[in-house]
Chains A and B, each alone.
Chain A
């Protein structure tokens, strides 16, 4: 089954404790990205990757890091989480070309205390 998986689905942590949210896709997609979703703000892109070892900033990259060492994986790293990073996070992948359909993972609800 074609899918995007994320782990963990739920995470409660404390300020400053480094964490990683994993994302994996099995569709051989070149394009992957991370979004955060906050009430009233819709989906805002954090980082995206056009291919292995190619990443770039989205609209809200501050406080986040990513890496793309393999085509299927695109982890999101919060080196020193802060309460304003409490949000719902989605990973997505696509083939990169029109219609550029984004396939979203199930989401990770992160709470930073």
Chain B
């Protein structure tokens, strides 16, 4: 399937800002989604970018640049509860399959 690349791990302290990049190899997709998964839990939807630009939802923001073939999730004012894995995902045009990145494990330290 199509591949999405993310860093495998990020560590930061409480109150810091973390940016998780997601790069891809194709331009034909409907939009970029982000999901959060706590250890032992199910993935839950965080945000979606249909168009280029920034989408803000509280402490979390997501950005998409189709011309640069990448997006990112920005986690601000990090809290211990933000320790989790974060996945980017796309549905490519002409194909109803959904592809996820391998995920980025964020560890927040006191």
Contacts and interface: CB of A to CB of B under 8 A. Distances in A.
A59 B97 contact: yes
A107 B48 contact: no
Contact of B1 (A59, A101, A103, A106): A59
20 contacts: A40-B8, A42-B87, A42-B100, A42-B102, A43-B43, A43-B100, A44-B1, A44-B100, A45-B98, A48-B96, A56-B97, A58-B97, A58-B98, A90-B42, A101-B45, A102-B98, A103-B45, A104-B43, A105-B42, A106-B42
Contacts of A104: 42-44
Interface residues of B, number: 24
Given A42-B101, A98-B30, 8 more contacts: A43-B87, A44-B1, A50-B96, A99-B50, A100-B31, A100-B98, A102-B33, A106-B41
Interface string B77-110: 0000000000101010000111111110000000
Nearest to B102: A42
Contacts of A33: 98
Interface string A55-98: 01011000000000000000000000000000000100000001
Contacts of A101: 33, 45, 48
Contacts of A106: 41-42
Contact of B31 (A31, A41, A44, A99): A99
B70 interface: no
A58 to B, nearest CB: 5
Contacts of B43: 43, 90, 102, 104
